Structure 1
Amino acid sequence: MRFLFVALAVAVALLYFTVGLRFGYVTLTPTHLLNAQGENRYAFEVYDEGKSVGVRGTCSVRSGKATLRLLDPRGTQVAGQTCPKGEWSLSLMGGGQPGIYRLSVEFDRYSGTMDLKEVRREGR
């Protein structure tokens, strides 16, 4: 039994120092992150001309930073924000043409909470 606890502690420490610990799913629930590193990508599809899609929410950063980029179907960045240390509101919207919009969230030793919700609206 002791071996299992030691193995679990080693596994958690390894995750913490490589990709970080993440509890939640960024676009569905408030997500708590510890020393998060790397990039997460999310896709949102727009079916009709003139409609917009994006995310709104907050990030509360204790250390590190996160950079959010919204890319249109051609791969051009249409919105972006960075979350340095502190409390921040986020709003990234893009639209006009149908296709798949991609949200890229890059974490650089990010510790804190991120709460994002998908937003859709008519027109630009």
Structure 2
Amino acid sequence: MRKFIARLSTVAALALAIVPVAGLATTAHAQSHSQPVAHIRIGDLKLDRPADAAEFHRRTRDAADTVCAARTHAERLGRLSVYACHRDFHADAQAELSRTQLADLRRAGRAAPTQLAAR
């Protein structure tokens, strides 16, 4: 019985030694297929102004086009997946904004452009 326990503990120790090595191999594989990253500058924008809010949306749309095009090429996405990629990108971009920035962006979206009659 003593030999059986010794062999079992040896096998268990070897199995535990292999697990971290397998984890390292998986991490290296996952890093080789990393997701594309986009940076959107907003420091020069005042998001409570409609024109700047529109510029933010344009920059976000352009960055989403770039990222989703790269993902489409790398992962061979279908049309619905590309649409989902764009929606996810916009949701992630909104999630990165502070509460104040989100409130300013919403305020700018509610502001209707004013047109004056000219004679």
- Asked if Structure 1 and Structure 2 have the same fold, meaning a TM-score greater than 0.5 normalized by the shorter chain, the answer is no
TM-score under structure 1 length normalisation:
0.26
Q: Which has the higher helix share?
A: 2
Structure showing greater relative contact order (alpha-carbon pairs closer than 8 Å, 6 or more residues apart) = 1
TM-score under structure 2 length normalisation:
0.27
